[in-house]
């Protein structure tokens, strides 16, 4: 079962901190508090990954809201898997990941995003990066 990486939880915390800043510099928004509880447990236990079940309902709802604000697909409309490549030169996903992307859950999609970003070899991260940014700002097509 795919898990959610601690960096995604950090990103969700920062998303909510920006969205609901503390008025007094001390009090945390409920979404930040829920995610911070999970984050603290992960740091204490030296875990990089959290299963869906590790999230409280409030933390999961906060994470899902952050997730909905991220681009869904890494596709830049240059799919070399259709030409027989095992890994797409455009987005960095495997043929299987491209094929099953619509059926994948949020944790699996974020795991794939993390891998292709860490590798940084797909065209979306170099000569076609500008095109990828423009495509992610377009109509919100989440395929």
Structural domain boundaries, residue 111:
80-137
Which parts of 2-123 are beta strand (E)? 4-5, 49-50
Evaluated on CA atoms 71, 94, 89, 120, the torsion sign reads positive
Answer yes or no: is 39 within a domain: yes
Take residue 19 and report the two structure tokens written for it: 């969205």
Cβ-based neighbours of 99, under 8 Å, separated by 6 or more: none
- C-alpha span between 41 and 65 (Å, rounded): 21
Q: What's the domain count of the chain?
A: 2
Residue with tokens 């920006």: 18
Report pLDDT digits (tens) over 13-61.
999 999 999 889 889 999 999 999 999 999 999 999 998 789 999 999 9
Q: What is the pTM of this model?
A: 0.78
Answer yes or no: is 61 within a domain: yes
13 and 54 share a domain? yes
């Amino acid at each position: 079962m795919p898990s959610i990486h601690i960096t995604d939880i950090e990103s969700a915390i920062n998303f909510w901190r920006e969205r609901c800043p503390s008025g007094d510099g001390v009090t945390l928004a409920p979404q930040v508090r829920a995610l911070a509880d999970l984050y603290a447990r992960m740091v204490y236990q030296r875990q990089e990954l959290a299963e869906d079940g590790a999230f409280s309902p409030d933390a999961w709802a906060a994470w899902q809201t952050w997730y909905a604000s991220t681009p869904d697909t890494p596709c830049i409309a240059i799919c070399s898997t259709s030409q027989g490549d095992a890994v797409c030169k455009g987005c960095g996903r495997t043929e299987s990941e491209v094929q099953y992307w619509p059926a994948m859950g949020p944790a699996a999609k974020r795991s794939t995003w993390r891998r292709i970003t860490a590798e940084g070899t797909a065209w979306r991260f170099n000569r076609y990066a500008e095109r990828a940014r423009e495509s992610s700002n377009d109509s919100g097509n989440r395929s």
